[in-house]
Amino acid sequence: MAEVTHSTPPHADEVSSFLAGLAQFHLGPLWQVLGQQLTPTPTSRVRPHLWRWREIRPRLLRAGELVSAAAAERRVLMLLNPGLEGQVATTHTLYSGIQLILPGEVARTHRHTPNALRFIMEGQGAYTVVDGEKIPMAPGDFVLTPNWTWHDHGNEGTEPVMWLDGLDMPLVRLLEGMFFEPYAQETQPLTKPTDASTAEYGKGGLLPTWQRSTSPHSPLLKYAWREAREALMSLGTNAASPFDGTMLEYVNPVTGGPALPTMASFLQRLTPGQRTAPHRHSSSTVYLVVEGHGCTTIDGKAYEWTPGDVLAVPTWCVHAHANLSTHQDAILFSFTDAPVMRALNLYREEAL
């Protein structure tokens, strides 16, 4: 290659006409964008946001009057992040919504590559079926429908049932890994005993010797509320995390890892008056308030919550929780994209 030398500096108009001629070849000068790309810390368009149950619930019930489950495929009000206009996303990686199924309704069978989780908020009598296993669902239960498992829902009770859905759909779309398939019939045959995964993998650390799941998701598909709450409340609170209080993870009982390969899920307790220390991490979080009354401060702004409220915390935002009650515990359910960040060596956490 010939050596390039500048005897005279280039004229500004020479540079700008050079730059203007690049776009037609789909070329661009990196030196103009490097500062925006290599930010010292993550920059997110996601905004902290609180969705209030008293605003969601009546609108979801109204949707139940106006739209049938059959017409909707799934009757859900999406929790749309105000910083991500036009996107179906609660954070940049996580989607969440509140689903309603009325007595007698069926939400037909399908499968897709996004992983889904559910936390039941209200109502008895609903069930989900995952790959031929019927799973009755009651308030507080945490239920998985992992990547590519056939699933449908029904309500055999007498009251509306509502739950929080959490999916890794924005991440799957970014990665262009979306596949979806409807089942040929509305419902799938029941090929396993009811709650089979609880019988096999949900009995307190006792696992079958003749089989051991090697799947990338938890083989336990339901974590029942009674056991989860009891596990949380039976722990002492002295040694708890300064940042999270007493916090338990819903883990894969075989590996001890996250219940789903892309999403980690947690239940945490804040004792009356407890205030956690501020921290931040390179994972985004969706919180659901299960019990109590408190407040989460995110980058200096306070979000006050009561049961049923949902809170989105963007990545790398400083946050701290406070239980504002003097006599009642607060319990938060949450899910995050931390497993993805850890797998890619992008996870960081910082105390402030």
134 to 153, contacts with ligand 1HN by CB under 6 A?
151, 153
Give residue 320's region: left, alpha or beta (phi > 0; psi -120 to 50). beta
Q: What is the bridge-based pairing of β-strands 330-336 and 301-305? A: unpaired
Count of residues near ligand 1HN by CB under 6 A: 12
The two three-digit tokens of residue 144, written as one number: 């998985």
113/124 with CB nearer ligand 1HN: 113
C-beta of 227: minimal distance to ligand 1HN in Å? 23
Alpha helices in 163-283 (DSSP H): 169-174, 196-201, 225-234
Choosing from 42, 63, 72, 74, the residue that interacts with ligand 1HN (CB under 6 A) is 74
Among 105, 133, 141, 165, binds ligand 1HN (CB under 6 A): 165
Contact 133, 197 (CB under 8 A): yes
Q: Rounded to the nearest 5°, which phi and psi values hold at 84?
A: -120, 50
Alpha-carbon torsion (280, 281, 284, 290), positive or negative: negative
DSSP H/E element including 65 = helix 53-66
Encoded tokens for 268: 């945490």
For residue 293, the surrounding DSSP H or E stretch is none
Binding mask 82-121 for ligand 1HN (x = CB under 6 A): ---------------x-x-------x----x---x-----
User: Which strand ranges, in their side-by-side order, compose the sheet holding 349-351?
Assistant: 301-305, 294-298, 319-323, 279-281, 349-351
**What distances in angstroms separate CA 306 from CA 48, 210, 229, 293, one per listed residue?**
17, 45, 18, 5
- Closest of 69, 128, 127, 119 to residue 259, by C-alpha: 119
Stretch of residues binding ligand 1HN (CB under 6 A), selected from 164-172, 182-190, 227-235, 292-300: 164-172
Nearest to 249, CA basis, from 220, 271, 272? 220
Q: Which is nearer to ligand 1HN, 169 or 311 (CB)?
A: 169
Shortest CB 151 distance to ligand 1HN, Å: 5
CB of 328 to ligand 1HN, least distance (A): 31
Query: Given the rule CB under 6 A, which of 135-143, 162-170, 280-288, 317-325 is the region that contacts ligand 1HN?
Result: 162-170
Q: What residues between 271 and 300 interact with ligand 1HN by CB under 6 A?
A: none
Binding part of the chain for ligand 1HN, among 1-9, 161-169, 253-261, 282-290 by CB under 6 A, reads 161-169
16 Ramachandran zone, left/alpha/beta (phi>0; psi -120 to 50)? alpha
| Binding positions for ligand 1HN, 166-205, rule CB under 6 A | 167, 169
Q: Does 77 bind ligand 1HN (CB under 6 A)?
A: no
Q: Which of 46, 50, 56, 76 binds ligand 1HN (CB under 6 A)?
A: 76
Nearest-approach distance from CB 246 to ligand 1HN, in angstroms? 30
Minimum CB distance to ligand 1HN smaller for 107 or for 338: 107
Min dist. Cβ of residue 94 to ligand 1HN (A)? 11
Q: What's the closest the beta carbon of residue 128 comes to ligand 1HN, in angstroms? A: 8
Catalog residues that contact ligand 1HN under the rule CB under 6 A. 74, 76, 97, 99, 107, 112, 116, 151, 153, 165, 167, 169
